Structure 1
Amino acid sequence: MSAICGGGASLILIPLLNLLLPTSVVPFSLTIGTFTSSASRIAVFKKHINWKIFFWFVPFSIPAVLTGAYLIKFINPNYLQLIVALFLVCNAPQLFKSKKTAENSEKPYPDFALAIIGFLAGFVSGITGAIGLLFNRFYLKFGLSKEEIVATRAANEVFLHLIKLMIYISLGLYSNLALCLGLAIAAATIVSSYTVKFILPYLSENIFKKVGYGAMVVSGVALLAGTSGKIIEQDKISIVNESKHSSVISWRNTDMVLEYAINDGLEIERPIQPEELPEPLKQKYITLKKQYDTVYIEKVFTFGREAAHEFYCYKDKKLTKFEI
């Protein structure tokens, strides 16, 4: 898939590798495979590289990939993967456009857009370990042939993958299992790159684009399913229906109540600490604290109104509620 579409397999491999490896070393394993894949495609399609795009893309992508790869040690890549998945799924309408409609709606981007695309591609790749088909849509709109898309993307990305490998190793973001899985992916990509040389000439430009967009959507769905499940598990996200009009959403040991009242509409209630109260309400809390055994505070958000506060006061196991 990746060889025919110019990318995509990495984004499907991410949720599979997440099952076998810690999240922090998944990018290392992927990058071994994607580096080998890009290098082998350059060897096969080198005469089709569009050097104009290459010289706009690469200089801006290198500092971005350095930043992204460094930040992987401090941020959770799963949330970025989730955003990438949603972006990919949003390409579904492209599958149903006719050839004529697609050609009329495709307007090439200005050259400076390549610099922005290069920077974003490098940053996303540095954190997740894969660019996949995320930026394939931009290549398609530059009017490149299918061979040029495969070759130019490989040339643009081979430097990113090499830099990432060096950064991941220097930060200790690798393991023996990650290395073995990466080498297995690398071996498969070499075979696929040389095989696609004989398949690509038989695909029309329109079918190539449809396969590309289809791969984006499939990759997005696979990534969305795998990543969302991992986020739910690691952040202990749960939704409990307390009543017909009220649900409690838990995230990282924090509860948020979603409540619907006929008169007040939709409300979101979030527990807060006393120090988060506005100054006038802090005095109210101090007064209530002297009168009751326990006082819990919730901040209430209602559409079209200013945020309010609710005080749940317990004394002798009896609740008294104050709304301010």
Structure 2
Amino acid sequence: MIVEVILLFLGTIFAFWLSAICGGGASLILIPILNLLLPASVVPFSLTIGTFTSSVSRIAVFKKHINWKIFFWFVPFSIPAVLIGAYLIKYINPNYLQLIVAFFLIANVPQLFKKVKNDETDEKASPKYILAIIGFLAGFVSGITGAIGLLFNRFYLKFGLKKEEIVATRAANEVFLHLIKLVIYISLGLYSNLALWLGLAIAVATIISSYTVKYILPYLSEHLFRKIGYSAMVIAGITLLIGTSDKIIQQDKLGITIAKSESIISWRSTDLVIEFAFDDGLEIERPIHPEELPNHLKTKYDSLKNYYDVIHLEKVFTFRNEPSYEFYCYKDNQLTKFKS
């Protein structure tokens, strides 16, 4: 574990250097690493300790660059949203939201191929009320995943902020969110001793990163800053997609089996069968419980269950036809199939 903490510490310094250069993204880079060390439910706590410290240190370093107009539109709407998101973490699997975030980040690929003149003319300031919507969404996503960074970096660029302004304004907008999240995570018991120590390691690394990155930013042009930012969004999205997909496959036993004319997609305890036959066309079959049968078939099921040892039920969907039902009835290991 000591080796993992050291690697996390060094990786955090590099990630938050990259975060400052790109206008965000360290959190999304660290999520796949923390997923390997912690349960998904406590990853946001560990990550938030580090991002809160990072925001405080960046405010100290770049405070003169904060855009207060954006701050006063963003924060009031983000606070109630982060309360909702942090509360829902007990009921929502963060991995699925991380998967959505990954696709959203990867969607920035076209921005990588824009020419310089497009960067200069296309980035028009959006209406102020858009900031309220962004603030709410940022708070909600941050409450569940513990990270927002690059996800909303594109909107800061749309408002025409320069690189130092993006770093400073983001830090000011998010510091309150991170503090509120820490209080909520602790009150809900969504933390552990290991998560605390990993969070403290990230926190120390972010301070080192914040106070050294100010010597790097002046050497970057605005155009290069934007390109690096969009590149980081795409790379973080791909990394998050791979790491989160693997975790979902393991936790929910997601799998695909292809045999002859049918394919079986399994998720948790459910199998979805996709079958193709030249005479019947494409069929999708889903296992169901007896309670899901129509009333006229429940009577049939009740009569059959008194005779057969085991009965499996499937609902069959076919194109342009009403759903049908199949009864797989076993007695003395012999199968009898009925279709209604």
Q: TM-score, normalised by structure 2?
A: 0.90
Match of 2:277 in 1: 261
Deviation at 1:104, TM superposition (A): 4.4
Alpha-carbon distance between aligned partners in 2 of 1:60 and 1:22, rounded to the nearest angstrom? 30
- AA of the residue aligned to 1:260: F
Contact 2:287 2:313 survives alignment (8 Å): yes
Match of 1:121 in 2: 138
Contact 2:47 2:199 survives alignment (8 Å): yes
Deviation at 1:15, TM superposition (A): 1.2
Match of 2:321 among 305, 309, 313: 305
CA offsets, 1:212-259, max 9 Å, x none?
Answer: 111111111111111111111111112222x23212222112211122
User: Is the aligned partner of 1:204 residue 2:226?
Assistant: no
- Relative to structure 1, the CA distance from residue 272 to residue 216 in structure 2 (aligned partners, 3 Å threshold; closer, same or farther) is same
CA offsets, 1:231-289, max 9 Å, x none?
Answer: 11111112222x23212222112211122233444322110011101222222322333
Match of 1:160 in 2: 177
Alpha-carbon distance between aligned partners in 2 of 1:262 and 1:51, rounded to the nearest angstrom? 65
Contact 2:124 2:160 survives alignment (8 Å): no
User: Is the aligned partner of 1:2 residue 2:19?
Assistant: yes
User: Is the aligned partner of 1:149 residue 2:166?
Assistant: yes
Match of 1:175 among 174, 192, 199: 192
Deviation at 1:311, TM superposition (A): 1.7
Q: Which runs of 5+ in 1 are unaligned?
A: none
Size of the aligned set, in residue pairs, is 323
User: Is the aligned partner of 1:43 residue 2:60?
Assistant: yes
Match of 1:272 among 288, 291, 313: 288
Alpha-carbon distance between aligned partners in 2 of 1:216 and 1:186, rounded to the nearest angstrom? 22
Match of 2:246 in 1: 229
Alpha-carbon distance between aligned partners in 2 of 1:109 and 1:287, rounded to the nearest angstrom? 65
User: Is the aligned partner of 1:322 residue 2:338?
Assistant: yes
- Relative to structure 1, the CA distance from residue 150 to residue 310 in structure 2 (aligned partners, 3 Å threshold; closer, same or farther) is same
Q: Percent identity between the aligned chains? A: 77
Deviation at 1:179, TM superposition (A): 1.5
Alpha-carbon distance between aligned partners in 2 of 1:124 and 1:92, rounded to the nearest angstrom? 21
- AA of the residue aligned to 1:311: F
User: Is the aligned partner of 1:287 residue 2:303?
Assistant: yes
Q: Which runs of 5+ in 2 are unaligned?
A: 1-17
- AA of the residue aligned to 1:281: L
Deviation at 1:292, TM superposition (A): 3.6
Alpha-carbon distance between aligned partners in 2 of 1:285 and 1:8, rounded to the nearest angstrom? 55
User: Is the aligned partner of 1:59 residue 2:94?
Assistant: no
Alpha-carbon distance between aligned partners in 1 of 2:271 and 2:92, rounded to the nearest angstrom? 22
Deviation at 1:290, TM superposition (A): 4.2
Match of 2:87 in 1: 70
Deviation at 1:165, TM superposition (A): 0.9
Q: TM-score, normalised by structure 1?
A: 0.94
Q: C-alpha root-mean-square deviation of aligned residues, in Å?
A: 1.6
Deviation at 1:171, TM superposition (A): 1.8
